[in-house]
């Protein structure tokens, strides 16, 4: 009986201890792969715990990564996060936060566990993002948190041939300069971008042991097996994508060192080369230029206080550009309208596309809500979400067809209304050259080159830019724009820019 009583007392004591310890037990949590936080300072990781199927991060980790101040308030059952005078207030078990005075919904409640505050990963973009002084973008699929306006390159890797020789292909979008180096039995691909978003094969075969992201945010590491011999790296460029191919041969006997100087392909961007991504003209030399005089007919565009109409000055300058290009550069020039008539934006783009124009330059005059703004501006297109998707899809779904005489030609599949998607970089170059040439002869605005979602340009299947010559809402500019000297200067600058752009592109193609 005594022994039984002891057992009973011991059991009761254990039950008591259990009661005391119960509130201190942490929530059931599983670890998940961490998120990578990418910024211009580099790549850091933030641990993630899973609770109830939701991924949570610790507010303390946010404090150290984002330099925010966190103060817990046990009485109120919440915490306050402060950043540069702005605050986020959140309470336990509430799927929301007050962000600088506004309620923001969260996908799951805020949790307190082991005296740590845990918030859903989405808290970073939804709550911290609005008060942070840099853009914060959450990419759950890639487990990335981007801080700031980063140039992110997408790298899609696959192993084509197990071999040996083993062949791996890397498609980098948008087209970027890629530098390859070999060190210690691995090939390091360094992409000219702030960060890489990668689609990598989960396992490797043949002479490639693994493909993974490097410690540096702009590198991909291709680790080779002990049986690997020299690795040959070559690059080719499809529109808006750089394709890197790595061929790994078997070691002849014992494993020799990996080739220290990868053989670059003859085409830019050569790994290790200094040249930027090539300008693309779809393999054509420049033959036809389409000049688009904006507006026309009932659509007069901007009308200055003095009566000057945008549609008239646009057509006038376009005609001057045509005669100068034809006489000086010997190129064929097509105007989308050569009279005062209404032409739809689709018809204008179709004129350029159907004539396989090498360039499209649209000519306009600007208008502002006050008389202050002045100066010329050049626009090129900005892709939206669909445009970016189309560009990636085009790069990934391109079809390589053999052509007579050897080699192959890459056909890309891209929707008509997003044709500009694969010319964005070259259009940016064109806009830059136009702005530089215009600056020599006319006043420029405070933002001489701008990117915006421009309806006409987005359908153009060639490098394309839109020139705003002057503000007709500015009285002095309107008077100036009416003069022949101004119109001749603008026309001459556009022609000079076309000539410079032609030499840039044709130089690239002969490399």
Cβ nearer to another protein, comparing 116 with 255: 116
Is the backbone of residue 405 left (phi > 0), alpha (psi -120 to 50) or beta? Answer: left
Q: Which of 64, 69, 74, 199 binds another protein (CB under 8 A)?
A: 74
Asked if 368 is part of the footprint of another protein (rule: CB under 8 A), the reply reads: yes
Q: Can you tell me the distance from the alpha carbon of 310 to that of 415, in angstroms, rounded to the nearest whole number?
A: 31
Least Å distance, CB 384 to another protein, is: 6
Contact 310, 301 (CB under 8 A): yes
Among 6, 42, 47, 103, binds another protein (CB under 8 A): 103
- Whose Cβ is closer to another protein: residue 45's or residue 98's? 98
Q: Which of residues 151-210 bind another protein (CB under 8 A)?
A: none
Identified binder of another protein from the candidate list 131, 454, 460, 493, rule CB under 8 A: 454
The answer to whether the CB of 10 falls within 8 A of the CB of 16 is no
- Looking at the Cβ atoms of 19 and 141, the one nearer to another protein is 19
Residues 420, 448: contact at Cβ < 8 Å?
Answer: no
Task: Confirm or reject binding of residue 29 to another protein (CB under 8 A).
Answer: no
How many CB atoms are closer than 10 A to CB 381?
A: 28
| Contact residue for another protein among 271, 301, 448, 463 (CB under 8 A) | 301
- Beta strand 166-173 with 152-161 is antiparallel
Q: What is the spatial distance between Cα 138 and Cα 19, in angstroms, rounded to a whole number?
A: 41
CB neighbour list of residue 71: distance below 8 Å, 6 or more residues apart: 79, 80, 82
Rounded-to-integer distance, Cα 322 and Cα 31, Å: 66
Which lies closer to another protein via its Cβ, residue 193 or residue 472? 472
Q: Is 456 in the site for another protein (CB under 8 A)?
A: yes
Place of tokens 């933030």: 46
Question: Binding pattern to another protein, positions 325-364, x when CB under 8 A?
Answer: -------------------xxx-----------------x
Q: Does 370 bind another protein (CB under 8 A)?
A: yes
294 binds another protein (CB under 8 A): yes
Indicate if the alpha-carbon torsion angle 288, 343, 469, 277 is positive or negative: negative
Structure tokens, 250: 């078997």
Shortest Å, Cβ 76 to another protein: 5
Return phi, psi of residue 483, to 5°: -80, 150
Residue 339 CB, shortest distance to another protein, in Å, is 18
Q: Which is nearer to another protein, 95 or 266 (CB)?
A: 95
Q: 162 to each of 165, 169, 195, 246, 249, how far by Cα in Å?
A: 7, 12, 29, 12, 11
Task: Name which of 42 and 95 has its Cβ closer to another protein.
Answer: 95
> Contacts with another protein in 406-425 (CB under 8 A)?
417
Nearest distance, CB of residue 26 and another protein, angstroms: 10
Nearer to another protein, 189 or 472 (CB): 472
The least CB distance from residue 451 to another protein, in Å, is 8
Residue 452 near another protein by CB under 8 A: yes
Q: Coil, strand or helix: which one is 448?
A: strand
CB of 178 to another protein, least distance (A): 29
Shortest separation between residue 15's beta carbon and another protein, angstroms = 5
Q: For the window 460-489, what string marks contact with another protein as x by the rule CB under 8 A?
A: ------x-x--xxx----------------
Among 30, 347, 386, 506, binds another protein (CB under 8 A): 386
Among 76, 305, 413, 476, binds another protein (CB under 8 A): 76
Q: Figure out which of the listed residues 38, 97, 277, 442 binds another protein, where binding follows CB under 8 A.
A: 97
Q: Considering Cα of 223, then 229, then 230, then 232, what sign does the dihedral take?
A: negative
Residue 444 interacting with another protein (CB under 8 A): no
Name the minimum Å distance from CB 83 to another protein. 17
125 near another protein (CB under 8 A): no
404 lines the binding site for another protein (CB under 8 A): no
Q: How far is CA 137 from the centre of its chain?
A: 12
Nearer Cβ to another protein (12/399): 12
Angle at Cα 10 formed by Cα 4 and Cα 13, nearest 5°?
Answer: 145
> In this structure, what token pair is assigned to residue 240?
């808006």
| H helical segments located in 278-384 | 310-328, 345-354
Please report whether residue 85 would count as binding another protein according to CB under 8 A: no
Nearer to another protein, 41 or 346 (CB): 346
Contact stretch for another protein (CB under 8 A) within 98-106, 223-231, 235-243, 481-489: 98-106
CA dihedral 318, 320, 324, 325 (to 10 degrees): 10
Q: Which of 219, 235, 217, 99 is nearest to 169 (CA)?
A: 235
What are the Cα distances from residue 455, in Å, to 307, 377, 382, 418, 430? 27, 17, 10, 10, 18
How far is residue 415 from each of residues 53, 358, 396, 397, measured CA to CA in Å? 38, 19, 14, 12
Contacts of 72 (CB under 8 A, 6+ apart): 78, 79, 115, 117
* Residue 52 binds another protein (CB under 8 A): no
Instruction: For residue 5, state whether it binds another protein (rule: CB under 8 A).
Output: yes
82 binds another protein (CB under 8 A): no
Residues 226-265: x/- map of binding to another protein (CB under 8 A)?
----------------------------------------
């Amino acid at each position: 009986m005594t022994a039984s009583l002891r057992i009973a007392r011991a059991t009761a004591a254990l039950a008591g201890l259990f009661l005391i310890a119960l509130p201190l037990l942490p929530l059931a949590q599983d670890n998940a792969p961490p998120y990578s936080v990418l910024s211009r300072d580099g790549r850091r990781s933030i641990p993630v715990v899973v609770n109830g199927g939701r991924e949570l991060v610790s507010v303390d980790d946010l404090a150290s990564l984002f330099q925010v101040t966190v103060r817990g308030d046990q009485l109120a059952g919440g915490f306050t996060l402060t950043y540069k005078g702005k605050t986020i207030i959140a309470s336990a078990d509430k799927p929301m936060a007050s962000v600088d005075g506004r309620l923001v919904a969260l996908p799951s409640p805020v949790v307190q566990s082991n005296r740590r505050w845990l918030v859903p990963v989405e808290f970073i973009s939804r709550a911290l993002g609005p008060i942070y002084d840099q853009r914060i973008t959450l990419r759950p699929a890639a487990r990335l948190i981007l801080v700031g306006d980063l140039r992110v390159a997408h790298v899609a890797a696959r192993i084509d041939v197990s071999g040996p020789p083993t062949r791996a292909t890397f498609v980098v979008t948008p087209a970027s300069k890629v530098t390859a180096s070999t060190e210690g039995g691995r090939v390091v691909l360094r992409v000219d971008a702030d960060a890489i978003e990668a689609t990598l094969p989960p396992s490797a075969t043949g002479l490639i042991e693994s493909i993974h992201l490097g410690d540096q945010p702009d590198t991909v590491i291709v680790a080779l097996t002990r049986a690997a011999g020299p690795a040959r790296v070559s690059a080719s460029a499809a529109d808006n994508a750089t394709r890197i191919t790595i061929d790994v041969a078997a070691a002849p006997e014992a494993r020799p060192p990996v080739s220290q100087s990868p053989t670059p392909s003859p085409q830019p961007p050569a790994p290790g080369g200094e040249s930027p991504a090539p300008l693309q003209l779809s393999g054509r030399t420049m033959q036809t230029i389409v000049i688009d005089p904006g507006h026309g007919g009932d659509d007069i565009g901007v009308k200055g206080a003095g009566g000057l109409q945008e549609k008239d000055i646009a057509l006038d300058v376009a005609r001057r550009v045509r005669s100068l290009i034809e006489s000086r550069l010997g190129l064929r020039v097509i105007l989308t309208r050569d009279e005062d008539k209404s032409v739809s934006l689709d018809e204008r783009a179709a004129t350029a596309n159907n004539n396989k124009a090498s360039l499209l330059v649209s000519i306009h005059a600007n208008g502002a809500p006050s008389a202050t703004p002045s100066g010329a501006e050049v626009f090129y297109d900005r892709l939206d979400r669909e445009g970016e998707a189309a560009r990636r899809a085009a790069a990934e779904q391109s079809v390589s067809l053999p052509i007579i005489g050897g080699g192959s030609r890459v056909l890309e599949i891209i929707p008509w209304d997003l044709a500009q998607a694969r010319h964005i970089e070259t259009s940016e170059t064109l806009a830059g050259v136009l702005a530089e040439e215009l600056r020599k002869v006319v006043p420029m605005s405070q933002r001489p080159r701008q990117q915006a979602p421009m309806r006409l340009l987005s359908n153009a299947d060639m490098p394309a830019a839109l020139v705003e010559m002057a503000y007709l809402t500015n009285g002095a500019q309107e008077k100036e724009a009416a003069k022949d000297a101004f119109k001749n200067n603008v026309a001459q600058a556009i022609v000079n820019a076309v000539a410079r752009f032609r030499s840039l592109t044709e130089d690239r193609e002969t490399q």
